[in-house]
Chain A
Amino acid sequence: MANAETDLKDLGVRGESDFLPDGWELVCGLEVHTELKTKTKLFCGCANVFGAQANTNVCPTCLGLPGSLPVLNERALEIAAMIGLALSAKVQASIFHRKNYFYPDMPKDFQISQYDIPLNADGYLILPSGKRIGIERAHVEEDTGKITHLGGASGRIHGAERALIDYNRSGVPLVEIVSRPDIASPEEAREYVSELRSTLVAIGASDGKMEEGSLRVDANVSVRPIGETPFRTRCEIKNLNSLRSLVRAITFEAHRQVAAYLAGEKVTQQTRHWDESAGRTVALRNKEEAEDYRYFPEPDLVPLRPSEEWIEGLRSQLGELPKERRARLVESLGLTDTNDQIETAISVELYPFARSALAAGLDPKITVARCANELASLAPLDESFEISWFVELLRMETNGEVSATQAKSILAEVAKNLISPKAAQERLGFSQLTDDQLTKTINEAILQNPKEWERFRTGEAQLQGFFVGKIMKATSGKADGKAVVRILLATAEQR
């Protein structure tokens, strides 16, 4: 265990809070960068889209050409403030700064960011577990261009022959959300990012796609003996492209640091890169020099002074946040805690269906189950899939017009052909048989099974199932079981 290069598979990779050796604890804070869902970039009118042909959404401003000037995107500012409000932060007067550094991903040789006075300060996020994670700040900045290293064995910088740059991403609006070091386990880090992502998606700030880089996470990791108050040296881990990487990287890094201390070594403050395939973090550079960004106020942009009225207008656009959605479903179901079905049903795509069905007074248990199971399995749903169709189908199922099995088939048919549940029911031949039709079928069954009928009529109740089975078979399952029983009993009374 004292070997700093211990293989990850030997470590507690499940991420529980007691994953470290006895007497040690994790201190972790996360920096989450989210690209904002705007039409254009932060300081120019170039389109903000992912996956366009290289260097086709660029202009003199985002290429940093001489004489160009930045002008702030109104919508980006609104979304940034909404993020602050969703995180219960203070939305305050702020200014932009230049963060100076030389790297070809930023052709101006500085990034416009916010420094000592961010737009949003002092917020928090409550996790589904109830844990409160403090948010130090959530500030606005521009994204950088994307560099691809050409040549060399792995496409990485070492051995690369050229660096190729696409500036389409340069100037895309970002909000960087910096948590306080309140995260005590890798699992909690996963929970935090997951809840933060749901929140950003719910308010329409981000599409939350980690795999496309629209949500990026850096982790500040340190460890200390339990009971020690001051923080020890931290390392910043980059290249966390999935929740799985996040959990694995924090687990590895915390163990590496504990092992170093146990071996009597020091931990150096540095930036480390997570190597997913090797399952370890590797040192990139020592932090002190890299941090010398010579921030100064951006003279080309004027200060932001949000009015109360503007802030309240944005607050009213927030809608129901994931924590409120979760609380609503937990309460509707009469539960005290969330579960997997609820967590699925509160997703941005499914929740409007659940919300409408509940508002229509439908059974919460069926509503949540159909959302989390059947509807989720049909996702992504076509845009013209109407919420009212889902509500109507649940009503049909609740009223006993269709069985649960039929309801599931109808839902699949609705999603496939984008037709109403009534039309799907028709198409599948699930239309209910009339009482007359059922009576006729029941009479035929009685004629064919006189002995069984006599036993049923004289009180052998267990033969009810025998007859229901016969009717279902005769009608290819189209009969409503409840109606069959009703008519069977009525017929037995009469004879």
Chain B
Amino acid sequence: MSSRISPKEVAHVAMLARLSLTDEEAELYASQLSSVLDHASDIESLDIHDLEVTAHPLGLVNRTRSDSVVSGLSQAEALSQAPDEAQGMFSVPPVLGEPS
């Protein structure tokens, strides 16, 4: 099995997706993902230069709705899904990143 993706890269992608993997899992997925990438590379080898890019399988374009207000959820309904609330807002532990 060729390895198109290393366990280290798998671990990096897992971190971005906030997935917790053991070393064994990272090894396993590296091997499985490599075979998926092998398949992609088979497709890549085909000559498709005169084909139009398929951006969406349905073939539909320009589907829009009119700009008119539809009533949504009440504050109470929205917050019913919150882990915790304060001052009418979703309350979560502080997250490092950008100051608001």
Per-residue 0/1 for A59-89: is the Cβ within 8 Å of any B Cβ (1 yes, 0 no)?
1101101000001111111000000000000
Q: B86 at the A/B interface (Cβ < 8 Å)?
A: yes
**Cross-interface CB contact of B94 among A45, A162, A299, cutoff 8 Å:** A162
Which 3 residue pairs spanning A and B have beta carbons closest together?
A45-B70, A59-B72, A75-B67
Q: Which of B22-30, B33-41, B43-51, B58-66 makes up part of the contact surface?
A: B58-66
CB of A165 within 8 A of CB of B90, answer yes
Q: B100 at the A/B interface (Cβ < 8 Å)?
A: yes
Q: Which of A264-315 contact B (CB under 8 A)?
A: 271, 273, 284-285, 292, 294, 297, 299, 301-306
CB of A164 within 8 A of CB of B62, answer no
Q: A157 at the A/B interface (Cβ < 8 Å)?
A: yes
Residues of chain A within 8 A (CB-CB) of B86 are 150, 162, 164
Question: Smallest CB–CB gap between A134 and chain B, Å?
Answer: 26
Question: Smallest CB–CB gap between B73 and chain A, Å?
Answer: 6
CB of A56 within 8 A of CB of B75, answer yes
Categorize the interface residue count of chain B: 35 or more
Q: A53 at the A/B interface (Cβ < 8 Å)?
A: yes
Question: Smallest CB–CB gap between B29 and chain A, Å?
Answer: 16
CB of B100 within 8 A of CB of A162, answer no
**Cross-interface CB contact of B67 among A38, A156, A303, cutoff 8 Å:** A38
Q: Number of A interface residues, CB 8 Å?
A: 62
CB of A71 within 8 A of CB of B64, answer yes
Question: Smallest CB–CB gap between A75 and chain B, Å?
Answer: 4
**Cross-interface CB contact of A55 among B12, B55, B90, B98, cutoff 8 Å:** B90
**Cross-interface CB contact of A74 among B65, B75, B96, cutoff 8 Å:** B65
How far apart are the CA atoms of A55 and B85 in the complex, in Å?
11
CB of B55 within 8 A of CB of A164, answer no
Per-residue 0/1 for A38-66: is the Cβ within 8 Å of any B Cβ (1 yes, 0 no)?
11100011110000011111111011010
Residues of chain B within 8 A (CB-CB) of A104 are 90, 92, 95
Q: Which of A141-149, A388-396, A416-424 makes up part of the contact surface?
A: A141-149
Question: Smallest CB–CB gap between B22 and chain A, Å?
Answer: 21
**Cross-interface CB contact of A71 among B18, B63, B73, B100, cutoff 8 Å:** B63
CB of B65 within 8 A of CB of A53, answer no
Q: Which residue of A lies closest to B100 (CB)?
A: A147
CB of B100 within 8 A of CB of A103, answer no
Question: Smallest CB–CB gap between A306 and chain B, Å?
Answer: 8
Q: Which residue of A lies closest to B77 (CB)?
A: A58
How far apart are the CA atoms of A369 and B70 in the complex, in Å?
46
**Cross-interface CB contact of A65 among B18, B81, B100, cutoff 8 Å:** B81
Residues of chain B within 8 A (CB-CB) of A95 are 55-56
CB of A39 within 8 A of CB of B69, answer yes
Q: B87 at the A/B interface (Cβ < 8 Å)?
A: yes
Residues of chain A within 8 A (CB-CB) of B12 are 292
How far apart are the CA atoms of A303 and B87 in the complex, in Å?
40
Q: Which of A132-188 contact B (CB under 8 A)?
A: 146-150, 156-157, 160-167
Residues of chain A within 8 A (CB-CB) of B98 are 238, 271, 273, 284
CB of A302 within 8 A of CB of B89, answer no
Q: How many A-B contacts are there with CB distance less than 8 Å?
A: 151
How far apart are the CA atoms of A103 and B99 in the complex, in Å?
12
Per-residue 0/1 for A439-467: is the Cβ within 8 Å of any B Cβ (1 yes, 0 no)?
00000000000000000000000000000
Residues of chain B within 8 A (CB-CB) of A74 are 64-67
**Cross-interface CB contact of B68 among A40, A65, A100, A105, cutoff 8 Å:** A40
Q: A344 at the A/B interface (Cβ < 8 Å)?
A: no
CB of B67 within 8 A of CB of A63, answer no
Could you jot down 29 A-B contacts, CB within 8 Å? A39-B68, A40-B68, A45-B65, A54-B88, A55-B75, A55-B79, A55-B90, A58-B73, A59-B72, A63-B73, A76-B67, A103-B97, A148-B89, A149-B100, A150-B86, A150-B91, A162-B84, A162-B91, A162-B94, A164-B87, A165-B89, A166-B88, A166-B89, A238-B98, A239-B99, A302-B62, A302-B63, A303-B55, A306-B62
**Cross-interface CB contact of B100 among A38, A55, A73, A148, cutoff 8 Å:** A148
Question: Smallest CB–CB gap between B7 and chain A, Å?
Answer: 17
CB of A164 within 8 A of CB of B91, answer yes
Q: B74 at the A/B interface (Cβ < 8 Å)?
A: yes
CB of A149 within 8 A of CB of B67, answer no
Q: A231 at the A/B interface (Cβ < 8 Å)?
A: no
Q: Which residue of B lies closest to A152 (CB)?
A: B94
Q: B16 at the A/B interface (Cβ < 8 Å)?
A: yes
Residues of chain A within 8 A (CB-CB) of B89 are 54-55, 148, 164-166
Question: Smallest CB–CB gap between B100 and chain A, Å?
Answer: 4
Question: Smallest CB–CB gap between B44 and chain A, Å?
Answer: 17
Question: Smallest CB–CB gap between A55 and chain B, Å?
Answer: 5
How far apart are the CA atoms of A305 and B96 in the complex, in Å?
39
CB of A71 within 8 A of CB of B75, answer no
**Cross-interface CB contact of A102 among B18, B67, B74, B93, cutoff 8 Å:** B18
Question: Smallest CB–CB gap between A150 and chain B, Å?
Answer: 7
Beyond A54-B87, A303-B56, is A161–B94 a contact (Cβ under 8 Å)? yes
Q: B78 at the A/B interface (Cβ < 8 Å)?
A: yes
CB of B78 within 8 A of CB of A297, answer no
Determine which residue in A104, A149, A273, A302 has the highest number of CB atoms from chain B within 10 A of its CB, and name it: A302
Q: Which residue of A lies closest to B94 (CB)?
A: A160
How far apart are the CA atoms of A383 and B24 in the complex, in Å?
70
How far apart are the CA atoms of A59 and B81 in the complex, in Å?
12
How far apart are the CA atoms of A133 and B69 in the complex, in Å?
37
Question: Smallest CB–CB gap between A211 and chain B, Å?
Answer: 15
